[in-house]
Structure 1
Amino acid sequence: MVIPAHPLALTVNRKLDERRQRALSRYYLAAGAKGLAVGSHTSQFAIRRPEHGLFQPMLELAAITAQEHDERTASKTVLISGLCGETAQAMAEAKLARDLGYHVGMISLAALPQANDDQLIAHCAAIADVIPIFGFYMQTAVGGRELSQGFWRRLAEIPNLVGIKMAPFNRYQTLDVLRGVADSGRADEIALYTGNDDNIICDLLTPFEIASKAKTIPLRIVGGLLGHWACWTQKAVEQLRQCHAARDNAALYPQLLQLAAQVTECNAALFDVRNQFAGCIAGIHYVLKEQGLLQNLIFLDPREQLSPGQQEEIDRVRATYPHLNDDPFVAEHLDQWLA
C-alpha cells in the first residue's frame, strides 16, 4: 500500500494547525493511501521536545481522522507511529501509540549510534513486546546509522516484526536488508517497504532472488512508506498500482522505467539533493503550500527552510512532468478537506 510520511502543519505562531493537519490526513486517505505514518522524520523529530509537546497531539489527530474516514468508507487504515530515543523513551512512545489505536511502531535507531548489534536487538525486542514493529533503515544524511546484514537477520527473527522500511538511499545497504530477511526464515511473513525516495519505482518493480544458505528466496518490495509520497499522493497510488500490474505484464516495464527516472528527478528537487538533503522537509511543504493544503513554510526549527534555488527546481519539475502531480485533484476537493 501507499503510506505517506505525515508532515506537520503549523500556524504562524508555531502552534499545531489542527484544521490543516486534519486536511492533510483527509487528502492522503482520499487519494487512496491505505496507511499513515506519523512521528517520523517528515513529521519533524522536534515534535517530541517538551517545549513543543506535539507528538501526542499529532498522533491523536491522525487517528481520529482515519477513524472517521474508515467509518464513512467501511475501510481500515493502517496507522504507523515513529518511535525514537533510547529504550525507555521508545517504549513510552510505543505504549502511547498502542493506546491511541496505532497498529505498528517504526523504530528509529538514530539515538543509539554506539550500540552494538546485541544492544540494538534487545532494544527492538523490548519495543516489540509493546506493539508490532517495523524496522527502519534511515539514511545517514538525515541522522541514520549504518547497520549490518547480521543485524537485519536477527531483527527479522523477532516474531512481532511485521515489516521493514528500507531507506538508506544505498543499493548495497538495501541488499543487506534483503539478505538478512532471506536468511531469517521469515521472508514470507515480513512486508518489505521502500523508503528509498531516490529509487521508488525500481524498488517496486525489481523481482529479487536472494541466495540463502538452503535455497534461493524470491523477495518483492510490496509498497512504499515515503516522505516523497507526502505530496502528489494520488499519483503515487497510481504508480504503485502500475508497478503491481507490471509483475504480470512485462510489456509495461519500459514505460515504468522511464517513469522511474522522472520520479527520481522530481525527488532530487523535493529532497534538495544538491544541498545534501538540507531542504528535504521544506520541499514537501512547499508543494503542499502551493496546492493550498498548508498555509505557510513554518517549521519547529526556524533554520529549516528551502535552500537557494530549490524552489525554482521544484517549479521546474512540476512544469516539466505535469502527469506526476495531482494539482487538479487537490483543487477539486480542498474546500471539503479544510471544512
Structure 2
Amino acid sequence: MLTNLELDLLHDGAFIPAHPLALTNDKQLDEKHQRALTKYYIDAGVDGIAVGVHTTQFEIRDPNINLYEKVLRIAMEEIEEQNMQRPFLKLAGICGGTEQAIKEAQIAKDLGYHLGLLSFGGLGQYTEDDLLKHTEEVAKIIPVFGFYLQPAVGGRELSFDFWKGFAEIPNVHAIKIAPFNRYKTLDVVRAVCHSSRNDDIALYTGNDDNIVIDLLSNYQIRVGEKTVNKQIVGGLLGHWAVWTKNAVNMFQQLKKARKNKEDIAPFLSLANEVTDANAAFFDTANNFKGCIAGINEVLRRQGLLKGNWCLLDSERLSAGQSEEIDRVYQEYPHLHDDTFIKENLQKWLK
C-alpha cells in the first residue's frame, strides 16, 4: 500500500539501488552478508531498495533454489529493524508468466512491499496486447513499477503504442527506462506524455550507461495544442548497488541543481566518469556477460560479500574485467565509498 508520503517521494525522485545476492562459495545464501548489504544501503541514505530483481539474480525463483520469498523477507526484516523515521520505498521484482507473476505479487504484497517492478524478460511468446493484460492482472494485486529491460540481458523491444497503453493502466505508478538506447528511451517518455495519466507516472532511469544525463534532462513533448514537460526524476539502478554512499551524495547534488535551475556544465565530466565506471562493472566489452559478477566483485573487494559468486556458473567475471575495475578505482577515487564501508562494516556484519 502506497501512502501519500511514499507517492510524494516516488514523484519527487528517489535513489533506489537494485539489491545483490550474497552467496557462499557453494552457492548457498549467505544470510549474514545479505543482511549487511541491506544495512549498508540504508545507512548510505538510499530512498528505497529493489529486491528480487535482475541484480538479485532471476534464478532465485528456480524451485531447486527457492530463495525469492526468503530474500524479500530478509530485506523487509532489516528495514523494519532500522525503524526509519522517513519514507522508504520497498520494491519487489516480479517476473515470469501471468500465473507466476500473480503469485510473486501476492508474496510481495503480503510481506509489505509498496511496488512490484514488473519485468517482461522471458515472455517472448506474449504479444504486446498480452503483456498489457498481464500487467493489468498484476496491478490488481500490487502497485506496478514498469521496467523496460535491455535486450542484451533478456529484455525485448517494445513500441510507443505499448508504453502509451501501459501508462493508461490504473495502479501503474512509475516506469524504469532501461533499454540502454536513446531512441527507445524517448519512446517511453513520449508515450507517457501522450497518455491521459502522464501526471500519475514517475519516470526513472535504469540506463546505467547514461545515469547523470538522464537525471538532468528535461523533455518537452508536444501533445496536441500543448507542451508537456516531463523529467526522469530518479533512478533504479544496478550500478547504484556499489559505491552507494558517494552516489547518493551525487544524486542529491543533481536534484538540487535541477530544482534550482543551476548550471549543469560541472556535471558533464562527472557523467562521463560514471559511465566509464559502469562499463567496467557491467562488462560492456563482453556484451554485459559479467554484469552481475562485476557488481559482486566490487562488493567483495569492499568486504560486503565474501566472493563474486553467482547462481549460474556462466555468470562470472570476463577476461580483463577485473583489470578494468582496477583501472576505474584508480582513475575515479572520488566516486567510491571504501572509507565509509570500512568505518561501518563490522557494525553491519553483527
- Of residues 104-113 and 161-170 in structure 1, the stretch that sits farther from structure 2 once superposed is 104-113
Task: Give the Cα separation in 2 of the matches to 1:212 and 1:277.
Answer: 37
* Distance of aligned partners of 1:238 and 1:151 in 2 relative to their CA distance in 1, 3 Å threshold: same
Deviations 1:75-100 (A, max 9, x none): 23211111110000000000000000
Task: Give the Cα separation in 2 of the matches to 1:175 and 1:213.
Answer: 18
Residue 324 of structure 1 aligns to a residue in which SS? coil
Shift of residue 112 of structure 1? 1.7
Residue 221 of structure 1 aligns to a residue in which SS? strand
Task: Give the Cα separation in 2 of the matches to 1:276 and 1:316.
Answer: 19
Shift of residue 7 of structure 1? 0.4
CA contact (8 A) 2:16 2:46 kept: yes
Which residue matches 1:131? 142
Shift of residue 249 of structure 1? 4.6
Q: Which of 273, 292, 299 in structure 1 is aligned with 2:284?
A: 273
Q: Which of 54, 73, 79 in structure 2 is aligned with 1:60?
A: 73
Name the amino acid aligned to 1:126.
E
Q: How many residues are paired up?
A: 337
Which residue matches 1:213? 224
Task: Give the Cα separation in 2 of the matches to 1:7 and 1:302.
Answer: 16
CA contact (8 A) 2:292 2:310 kept: no
* Distance of aligned partners of 1:92 and 1:327 in 2 relative to their CA distance in 1, 3 Å threshold: same
Shift of residue 250 of structure 1? 4.9
Q: Output aligned runs, 1:18-57, within 5 Å.
A: 18-57=31-70
CA contact (8 A) 2:300 2:307 kept: yes
1:335 aligns with 2:323: no
Task: Give the Cα separation in 1 of the matches to 2:119 and 2:343.
Answer: 37
1:168 aligns with 2:179: yes
Task: Give the Cα separation in 2 of the matches to 1:270 and 1:12.
Answer: 21
**Over the residues paired in the alignment, what is the CA RMSD in angstroms?**
1.0
Residue 130 of structure 1 aligns to a residue in which SS? coil
CA contact (8 A) 2:241 2:295 kept: yes
Task: Give the Cα separation in 2 of the matches to 1:68 and 1:222.
Answer: 29
- Of residues 185-194 and 323-332 in structure 1, the stretch that sits farther from structure 2 once superposed is 185-194
Task: Give the Cα separation in 1 of the matches to 2:308 and 2:257.
Answer: 38
Residue 211 of structure 1 aligns to a residue in which SS? strand
User: What's the TM-score, normalizing by structure 2?
Assistant: 0.94
1:229 aligns with 2:229: no
Q: Which runs of 4+ in 1 moved over 6 A?
A: none
CA contact (8 A) 2:177 2:188 kept: yes
Q: Which of 17, 33, 51 in structure 1 is aligned with 2:30?
A: 17
Residue 229 of structure 2 aligns to a residue in which SS? strand
Name the amino acid aligned to 1:327.
D
Q: Which of 292, 297, 303 in structure 2 is aligned with 1:286?
A: 297
Task: Give the Cα separation in 2 of the matches to 1:21 and 1:260.
Answer: 30
Task: Give the Cα separation in 2 of the matches to 1:86 and 1:248.
Answer: 40
Which residue matches 1:202? 213
1:99 aligns with 2:88: no
Deviations 1:104-146 (A, max 9, x none): 0011111221322211110000000000001100000000011
In structure 1, the gaps of 5 or more residues are none
Deviations 1:288-315 (A, max 9, x none): 0000000112211122111010000011
User: What's the TM-score, normalizing by structure 1?
Assistant: 0.97
Which residue matches 1:300? 311
Name the amino acid aligned to 2:109.
R
Which residue matches 2:264? 253
Residue 264 of structure 2 aligns to a residue in which SS? helix
In structure 2, the gaps of 5 or more residues are 1-13
Q: Which of 96, 100, 108 in structure 2 is aligned with 1:89?
A: 100
Residue 336 of structure 1 aligns to a residue in which SS? helix
